[in-house]
Amino acid sequence: MTELHPDLRENVRMLGDMLGQSIRQHPGQDCFDLIEEIRAAAKADRRQESGSGQRLVSLLGKLGDDELLPVTRAFNQFLNLANLAEQYHGIRRKRGHPSDLMVESLGEVFGRLKEGGVSPEELHRRVAELRIEFVLTAHPTEVARRTLIMKYDEMSDCLARLDHDDLMPAERDEVIKRLSQLVTEAWHTDEIRHERPTAVDEAKWGFAVIENSLWQALPRFLDSLDTSLAEATGKGLPLQASPIRIASWMGGDRDGNPNVTHQVTRKVFLLGRWMAADLYLRDIQALRAELSMWQASDELRAVVGDSREPYRQVLAELRERLIRTRDWAEAGVNGEAADATGILFENEDLTSPLELCYRSLVACGLEDIANGPLLDTIRRAHTFGLPLIRLDIRQESTRHAEAVAEMVDYLGLGDYLSWSEEQRQTFLVKELQGRRPLVPRHWEPSEPVREVLATCGVVAGQTPEALGSYVISMASKPSDVLSVILLLRESGMKYPMRVVPLFETLDDLRGAPDSMAALYNVDWYREYCQGRQEVMIGYSDSSKDAGQLMAAWAQYQAQEQLTRVAGRHGIHLTLFHGRGGTVGRGGGPANRAILSQPPGSVNGSFRITEQGEMIRFKFGLPQLAVQSLTLYTTAVIEATLAPPPEPEDSWRATMDWLTEQSLDAYRSVVRENPDFVPYFRQVTPEQALGKLALGSRPARRKATGGVESLRAIPWIFAWTQMRLMLPSWLGSDVALEQAARDNRLPELREMMNGWPFFRTYVDMLEMVLAKADLRIASYYEKTLLDDDRLQALGASLRERLQGCIHRLLELKGQTELLEGEPVFAHSMRVRNPYTDPLHYLQAELLKRDRDGEGQGKVPELVERALKVTMAGIAAGMRNTG
């Protein structure tokens, strides 16, 4: 059995001891002893020692209201500290442990590609033209409060300092003292948000990720990429290359979130410019100290004359303009009149003086100086720009159709919503080709339409560098795209913004290739998009709609066909992957996911959402961010230059057969069984999730309705909390069972060996099955279900889960789950004694909470403890939605 790495085990033990000491001090020794007794019972229960399960349940059942909160908080806090230790361990650079670095280096990948026949010229061209864009979303899955995240970050710094072998005893004692203080501070800090963050708060959190991590990480990563590329091809990165881009939905995603208005979006644009100006000011101040030399090129002398310190003079002028820019943006954020005289607005205003200094230093033979901090700032300027992030706008397609319909109706041109798609396209293209304004001067639109137009007006006032994509959810027809372009033009947009249809449901994915072909057939549109198109693939809603196996196959086929359609029309396609953190939402190890995409679909460009706690796990610390950027970049380059082979025709037929089985099995439960929704509502904490102030967005698209109205995140969150993990395996159980009965497992093993897509799917299924827990799911049912029919449904689902595990082990030739992932398996085992009590407590607290609501009053301590169990289980599972 694989154990934790000794250094990781020591850090987990040290942090746990510090937490224990904090608990001994307050609430006291008795509470600490009780927590230890519960933990010991949970461990014994996992070892299946006689009577241990009853002892654990008995201990938890005797807790008084005043004991609930410290006990739940203790287990929650330990799981957060274990996460912290694991996260740091993944990036530690301690001597003698090279195996700790899990990410293959850029140099290794470049070498392998060259050995495989990729020429140095082709490798250099592809890397220089690379476009990878990370879109930080506001999806509410980050449970931990920002104040605690900041403490955890400093704890990581302390662990890093303790890794130095040359520390003096007094220095070591000082670090340990500070670490202990931070653990105590965390213990005495409320881990639950009591007020829902606003959309602007979410945007600030996204900006903080850039300020605290990516600002340092990006130049480090690009320096590594530059060096590796030069070693592999003889040439480094071009000065203006920006292979990495950062975009955001925070403050721009209004689909189903009435809290995101045009005023919010305007404020977020200004906040980005304010923070960017402040960050660049710090860089410029440091550069003025660095660039004290007097040698300068004729080009620079033509600008500064006979200045003794020419670089400092250029930077001083840039500093003054940055100060004006910061003050202008700050005034705008505060709603005050702002003087825009002399501000930096276009990106070239920032990059030109910096590149002038760079060229001068190189011309004077001072390349080493040019390639220092100055190059770092130039790379930041090309990546983040003056807006800091590229803000996406997302809105639902019917909102745009309604806006056009109101205009058409006011002008007496007919009933737009009743027109055929052909009529709509003809009208929209004619208006787009014409020059007259469509919006009437004295027209008073309805409030929803006024908001759509006001948003378009805010967008039209930005520079191209400030904008990502305009994403249209529930898009299915060319008119959905053309109407957005028309509304933007009517609002004053002077250049073509990327307008991106999002295909989410199973039917949408199947219809996507024909929809895009129809759009490419519009001559005006082909000219507008200038040979480049982005299409977004939705993972969450397709999985909720059709089950994980069917959704994965539909996504794969849609990407294949979209790539072919774009190729036929001479258009470069970028696929935008709307993945979540969990397997049920398209999550999982990023490099394996990218390398299993259809051949040709990753063609030097890749866009992906990063959300909630996954932003912190991937980009929360500078070293971690460098590692993540390296992992994504190597995968995208390899998928571009050495794509996987096409699957065999027989494998496609088998996938069609498997997914027919899985789709029917999934929908027969989720859509057709009348007991399913009552079971879901009663056995999971879905109804209580609204108590967690996770994000600015409502949990439901509509206030009423069944599973179809529930957002994908709480859908996944709820099943994860009670460990049935249903969305990730339901349907696959029947498909695998039928495959075994029909003697198809040998062919499935061939598919695993020869087809990265199928191998990745099976591995992700194994990972999620390892997180499922039949005993815990059964306990929730026993505690929360009174109805015999609902209990029978639960028993059948658990039996199906057991069957799925059995067939997966048979398929992989294993005796237990995660045989090939021993470190992950051991990590789960270490967490179980801490997550188990939280599960048992949550089931009991849900019962008390519901009883209290039935009587009109829920005790505050019960509600707070319930929230803490949800946060703790999310930490133990390492993801929420």
Q: Which residues are catalytic?
A: 139, 544
Measured from the Cβ of residue 737, the count of other Cβ atoms closer than 10 Å reads 17
Give the CA distances from residue 757 to residues 549, 552, 754, 762, in Å, rounded to whole numbers and listed in that order: 11, 9, 9, 9
Measured from the Cβ of residue 30, the count of other Cβ atoms closer than 10 Å reads 10
DSSP bridge pairs for 253: 394
CA distance 6 to 27: 31
Measured from the Cβ of residue 276, the count of other Cβ atoms closer than 10 Å reads 27
Beta strand pairing call for 572-578 and 532-538: parallel
For residue 581, what is the DSSP state? S
Measured from the Cβ of residue 854, the count of other Cβ atoms closer than 10 Å reads 9
CA distance 780 to 684: 8
Smallest CA-to-CA distance from 728 within 781, 800, 784 is with 800
H, E, C per residue of 480-511: HHHHHHHHHHHCCCCCCCEEEEEECCHHHHHH
For residue 709, what is the DSSP state? G
Q: Confirm if 213 and 622 have CB atoms less than 8 A apart.
A: yes
Q: 């026993």: which residue's tokens?
A: 782
Residue 528, C-beta contacts closer than 8 angstroms, at least 6 positions apart:
432, 485, 496
Q: 């654990």: which residue's tokens?
A: 56
Give the total residue count for the chain: 881
Q: Residue 145, Cα to own-chain centre: how many angstroms?
A: 17
For residue 396, give the 3-state DSSP assignment: strand
Beta strand pairing call for 498-503 and 467-473: parallel
Q: Confirm if 89 and 95 have CB atoms less than 8 A apart.
A: no
CA distance 364 to 538: 52
Q: Confirm if 124 and 235 have CB atoms less than 8 A apart.
A: yes
For residue 131, give the 3-state DSSP assignment: strand
CA distance 791 to 681: 13
Residue 456 CA neighbour count, 13 Å, CB half? 24
DSSP bridge pairs for 572: 532
